[in-house]
């Protein structure tokens, strides 16, 4: 192994491991609610799962804002232009907070309407309303911390977010354990206890983020003056490259919510099975998603430094790594599926659906590992955000969502067939993504000389 290759692999490991651990921690937060609420009953599990779709959409939108900004900040980091990075960060945080306020209004003041989007089960709606009224407050808190921590990745500061999210998980777990079941003399609050645990965790994340920001004044810093007074040239660039990324996350997250809404009308058993499968999917993909973000950082940095050949070489290597780790994820699912079905399926019907959905998951994550590296990593690093948007939107909405909805509500197709259609979007987008990569049209320098 040459010295340059050795340095490359060390950098990949140094960036990917903390982000993989962070992804694992984020899955742990979701798993905590599902596992603990699942011990109460199927209704509260389904209610929390469906109500969380709103938070899921918002989180992905905030991630989209951060990722869109990363298109610029990673390349400016290659130029060592800290001032431009701080200005872009201010624009991103302002937009994220504004967007989260809209979601807060929906969740806090109109929770009944929000729950009816996903289900017509009155018992599930009632429990979901309780959850939403509390959790919606956390939307405002996350709007700052999520975007800030995503942008810290683009300047190769990845450990801080891992530490913050790890401590947040501990706080969430303890409060859930105490309040969901009423341990240590506290009242048994059920789904409301899970919501309070989430809110407390988000409050800690924001506090820790602000502390880190003000402690490190000599590095890249979130500054109030750049939030209030935006650079019009950088804002124009931000909108050009970030809006497609934000729309990408919007279409994708709304597609996931639409899928949940379709399943929510097919019964609580498939919703419960899908909730468990979703956690398994996220667990099996923690390294792959970490690699996708590493790809965006390293490839973007090299493009910003005008090292285009190196950027292309890095992209090819990281794409191969993503495929390998996706394959490892498939193997792990194959071996742990019997254990999952035995321990987390609450009824025979859920057991049947869970067995089927886990089998579908094996091909799904193999395809998703490659497309995530292309869309989240390579295309965004090179400013090719419009194509990434078109690819995701077409495969999800023009194929997966519309076909599964027609199958479910017009043809009254079996639940398993509907689920297969919902999970078919990754197969559709894979050949188009690979063809775009080979064309090199994604390789663009998007920085300004300010």
Q: What is d(CA 298, CA 313) in angstroms, rounded to the nearest whole number?
A: 11
Contact 150, 220 (CB under 8 A): no
pLDDT in tens, 404-418: 999 999 999 999 999
For 7-35, b/e burial (b = at least 16 CB within 10 A) is: ebeebbeebbbbbbbbbbbbbbbbbbbbb
Question: What pLDDT was estimated at residue 449?
Answer: 66
CA atoms within 13 A on the CB side of 113: 7
Residue 253 pLDDT class (50, 70, 90 cuts): confident
pLDDT in tens, 97-136: 999 999 999 999 999 998 888 888 888 889 889 999 999 9
| CA dihedral of 137, 138, 139, 140, whole degrees rounded to 10 | 80
Mean pLDDT, rounded, for 348-375: 92
Mean pLDDT, rounded, for 430-439: 95
Q: What is d(CA 128, CA 111) in angstroms, rounded to the nearest whole number?
A: 8
pTM value? Answer: 0.78
Mean pLDDT, rounded, for 34-45: 76
Q: CA angle, corner 74, sides to 252 and 69, nearest 5?
A: 45
- The answer on pLDDT for 166 being more than 80 is yes
The token pair at 291 is 């690699």
pLDDT in tens, 42-92: 788 778 878 887 887 888 888 888 888 888 888 888 888 888 889 999 999
- The answer on pLDDT for 30 being more than 70 is no
Q: What is d(CA 423, CA 245) in angstroms, rounded to the nearest whole number?
A: 22
Candidate from 184-188, 280-284, 313-317, 342-346 with smallest mean pLDDT: 342-346
Residue 4 pLDDT class (50, 70, 90 cuts): low
The most confident of the ranges 211-220, 265-274, 315-324 is: 315-324
- The answer on pLDDT for 7 being more than 90 is no
């Amino acid at each position: 192994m040459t010295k340059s290759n050795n340095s490359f692999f060390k950098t990949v490991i140094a960036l990917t491991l903390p982000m993989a651990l962070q992804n694992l921690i984020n899955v742990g937060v979701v798993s905590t609610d599902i596992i603990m609420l699942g011990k109460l009953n199927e209704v509260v599990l389904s209610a929390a799962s469906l109500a969380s779709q709103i938070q899921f959409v918002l989180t992905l939108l905030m991630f989209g804002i951060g990722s869109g900004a990363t298109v610029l900040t990673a390349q400016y980091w290659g130029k060592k232009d800290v001032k431009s990075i701080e200005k872009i960060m201010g624009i991103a945080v302002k937009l994220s907070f504004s967007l989260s306020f809209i979601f807060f209004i929906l969740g806090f003041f109109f929770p009944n309407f929000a729950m009816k989007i996903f289900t017509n089960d009155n018992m599930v709606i009632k429990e979901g309303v309780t959850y939403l009224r509390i959790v919606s407050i956390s939307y405002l808190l996350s709007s700052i911390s999520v975007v800030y921590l995503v942008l810290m990745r683009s300047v190769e500061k990845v450990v801080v977010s891992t530490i913050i999210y790890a401590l947040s998980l501990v706080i969430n777990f303890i409060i859930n354990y105490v309040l969901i079941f009423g341990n240590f003399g506290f009242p048994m609050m059920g789904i409301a206890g899970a919501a309070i645990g989430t809110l407390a965790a988000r409050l800690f994340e924001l506090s820790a983020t602000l502390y880190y920001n003000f402690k490190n004044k000599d590095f890249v810093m979130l500054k109030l003056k750049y939030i209030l007074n935006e650079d019009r040239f950088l804002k124009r660039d931000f909108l050009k490259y970030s809006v497609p990324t934000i729309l990408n996350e919007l279409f994708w997250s709304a597609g996931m919510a639409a899928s949940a809404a379709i399943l929510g009308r097919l019964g609580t058993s498939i919703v419960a099975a899908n909730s468990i499968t979703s956690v398994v999917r996220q667990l099996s993909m923690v390294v792959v998603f970490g690699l996708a973000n590493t790809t965006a950082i390293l490839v973007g940095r090299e493009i910003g430094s005008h090292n285009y050949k190196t950027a292309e070489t890095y992209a090819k290597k990281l794409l191969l790594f993503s495929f390998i780790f996706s394959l490892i994820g498939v193997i792990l699912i194959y071996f742990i599926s019997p254990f999952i079905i035995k321990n987390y399926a609450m009824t025979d019907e859920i057991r049947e659906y869970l067995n089927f959905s886990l089998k579908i998951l094996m091909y799904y994550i193999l395809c998703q590992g490659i497309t995530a590296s292309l869309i989240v990593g390579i295309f965004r690093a090179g400013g090719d955000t419009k194509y990434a948007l078109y690819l995701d939107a077409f495969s999800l909405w023009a194929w997966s969502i519309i076909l599964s909805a027609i199958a479910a509500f017009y043809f009254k197709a079996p639940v398993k067939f509907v689920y297969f259609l919902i999970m078919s979007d990754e197969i559709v987008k894979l050949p188009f993504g690979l063809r775009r990569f080979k064309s090199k049209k994604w390789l663009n320098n998007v920085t300004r000389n300010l």
